[in-house]
């Protein structure tokens, strides 16, 4: 069985190109509610290919991108090469390798559901300055907003390898309250992607639970996706709708 760290090693190129970014309004939340300034030092844990880290780098922040997967870390280093304040760290949520009290903010985007929660919480407490915030972020695909999204979810379930086991939606409010060990705030932002067929196929292939190009199911999966796009696209384009959820609290 592939470990959680290695699950995305053969998905990196598609992850960089086809995973959604995050609404810029998220930065306003960090400024207004968590005291973010351009001088804040960010520890982005489980930083993957650097998609979320880029928001903070564009804000002028120093960002430590903590990522255990070598190919994803290398992709982030290439993706963010223009940002001198990006620091690429070979580490985990449970052992970041960062100095104690070195971070003004800890973030985890599309990553918390892979963490060992108890050890990760202790590590976040160690690397954060006192009274600073942790924010857990997900782009949550809207599953039933329109006919395409309903059928797309059915398509994913048809071909997925271990979809139910690895999706983050088993992380409920009780789980988050147990992690934060106090009440926490949640803010939701609208987000979307507009993709052609190749882009949607790339988005599918970026998911660790979906068959890849070498799978025996790939040809059937690609054909079903082609039919789905042909049925629902407008001028060859499909829109994926998301809620970007930010759960945050002082530690």
Summarised one tens digit per residue, pLDDT across range 16-40 is 899 999 999 999 999 999 999 999 9
Listed range (5-14, 24-33, 147-156, 190-199) with the worst mean pLDDT: 5-14
pLDDT, position 4: 46
Compute CA distances 65 → 58, 87, 163, whole Å. Answer: 14, 6, 27
pLDDT, position 22: 96
Computed over every residue of the chain, the mean pLDDT equals 92
Q: What percent of the chain clears pLDDT 70, i.e. is strictly above it? A: 92
Mean pLDDT of 57-78: 96
Q: State whether residue 88 is helix, strand or coil.
A: strand
Within the chain, strands assigned E span: 41-45, 62-66, 86-89, 103-109, 128-141, 185-195, 238-250
pLDDT band for position 81 (cuts 50, 70, 90): very high
- Max Cα-Cα span within the chain: 54
pLDDT band for position 168 (cuts 50, 70, 90): low
pLDDT band for position 3 (cuts 50, 70, 90): very low
Beta bridge partners of 244: 139, 189
**Cβ distance 127 to 117 under 8 Å?**
no
| Structure confidence by residue, pLDDT tens digits, 83-134 | 999 999 999 999 999 999 999 999 999 999 889 999 999 999 999 999 999 9
- Round to whole Å and give the CA distance between 87 and 239: 33
Q: What percent of the chain clears pLDDT 90, i.e. is strictly above it? A: 82
pLDDT band for position 199 (cuts 50, 70, 90): very high
Provide the 10 A C-beta neighbour count for residue 173: 11
pLDDT, position 123: 98
Residue 169 clears pLDDT 90, i.e. is over it? no
Residue 188 clears pLDDT 70, i.e. is over it? yes
- Round to whole Å and give the CA distance between 245 and 251: 19
Residue 135 clears pLDDT 80, i.e. is over it? yes
Query: Which pTM was predicted?
Result: 0.90
Domains annotated on the chain, with CATH: 12-141+166-191+243-250 (3.40.50.150)
Rg of the chain over Cα atoms, rounded to whole angstroms, equals: 18
pLDDT, position 9: 52
- HEC-encoded secondary structure of 162-221: CHHHHCHHHCCHHHHHHHHCCCCEEEEEEEEEEECHHHHHHHHHCCCCCCCCCCCCHHHH
Angle between helices 197-205 and 218-232 (to 10 degrees): 140
**Cβ distance 74 to 13 under 8 Å?**
no
């Amino acid at each position: 069985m592939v470990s959680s760290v290695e699950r995305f090693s053969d998905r990196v190129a598609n992850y960089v190109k086809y995973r959604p970014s995050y609404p810029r309004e998220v930065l306003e939340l960090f400024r207004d509610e968590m005291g973010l300034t351009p001088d804040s030092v960010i520890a982005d844990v489980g930083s993957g290919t650097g998609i979320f880290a880029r928001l903070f780098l564009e804000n002028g922040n120093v960002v430590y991108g903590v990522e255990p997967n070598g190919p994803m870390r290398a992709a982030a280093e290439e993706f963010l090469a223009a940002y001198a304040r990006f620091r690429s760290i070979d580490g985990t949520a449970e052992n970041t390798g960062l100095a104690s009290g070195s971070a003004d903010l800890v973030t985890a985007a599309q990553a918390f559901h892979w963490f060992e929660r108890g050890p990760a919480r202790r590590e976040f407490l160690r690397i954060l300055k006192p009274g600073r915030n942790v924010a857990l972020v997900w782009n949550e695909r809207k599953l039933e907003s329109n006919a395409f999204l309903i059928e797309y979810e059915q398509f994913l379930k048809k071909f997925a390898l271990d979809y139910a086991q690895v999706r983050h939606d088993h992380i409920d409010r009780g789980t988050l309250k147990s992690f934060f060990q106090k009440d926490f705030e949640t803010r939701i932002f609208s987000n979307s992607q507009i993709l052609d067929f190749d882009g949607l196929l790339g988005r599918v292939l970026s998911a660790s639970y979906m068959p890849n190009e070498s799978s025996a199911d790939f040809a059937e999966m690609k054909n079903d996706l082609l039919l789905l796009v042909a049925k629902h696209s407008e001028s060859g384009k499909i829109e994926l709708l998301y809620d970007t959820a930010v759960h945050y609290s002082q530690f």
